Amino acid sequence: MSDSDVAPLETAYGVQHHVTRADAPERPAHEGGPEMVQLLTPEGERVPHAELDAIVDELSDEALRGLYRDLVLVRRFDAEATALQRQGELGLWASLLGQEAAQVGSGRAMRRQDYAFPTYREHGVAWCRGVDPVNLLGMFRGVNHGGWDPNEKNFHLYTIIIGAQTLHATGYAMGVQRDGDVGTGDEQRDTAVIAYFGDGATSQGDVSEALVFAGVNNSPVVFFCQNNQWAISEPNEKQSRAPLWHRARGFGFPGIRVDGNDVLAVYAVTKQALDAARTGQGPTFVEAFTYRMGAHTTSDDPTKYRVSAEVEVWKHRDPIERYKRWLLTTERADAGFFDAVEAEADELGTSVRERCLAMPDPDASSMFDHVYADPHPVTAREKAAFEAYHASFEEVR
Whole-angstrom CA distances from 354 to 139, 156, 233, 289, 351 are 17, 26, 34, 35, 5
CB-based contact 44:329 (threshold 8 Å): yes
Q: Is 225 helix (H, G, I), strand (E, B) or coil?
A: strand
- pTM (2 d.p.): 0.90
According to DSSP, the residues that pair with 165 across neighbouring strands are none
Residues annotated as part of the active site = 292, 296, 305
Tens-place pLDDT, residues 4-27: 333 343 443 343 333 333 444 477
- The DSSP code for 50 is T
Count of CB atoms situated within 10 Å of the CB of 69? 17
Question: pLDDT tens per residue, the chain (397 residues)?
Answer: 343 333 343 443 343 333 333 444 477 777 888 899 999 999 999 999 999 999 999 999 999 999 999 999 999 999 999 999 999 999 999 999 999 999 999 999 999 999 999 999 999 999 999 999 999 999 999 998 888 999 999 999 999 999 999 999 999 999 999 999 999 999 999 999 999 999 999 999 999 999 999 999 999 999 999 999 999 999 998 989 899 999 999 999 999 999 999 999 999 999 999 999 999 999 999 999 999 999 999 999 999 999 999 999 999 999 999 999 999 999 999 999 999 999 999 999 999 999 999 999 999 999 998 899 999 999 999 999 999 998 888 665 5
- For the stretch 41-98, pLDDT in tens is 999 999 999 999 999 999 999 999 999 999 999 999 999 999 999 999 999 999 999 9
pLDDT at 58: 98
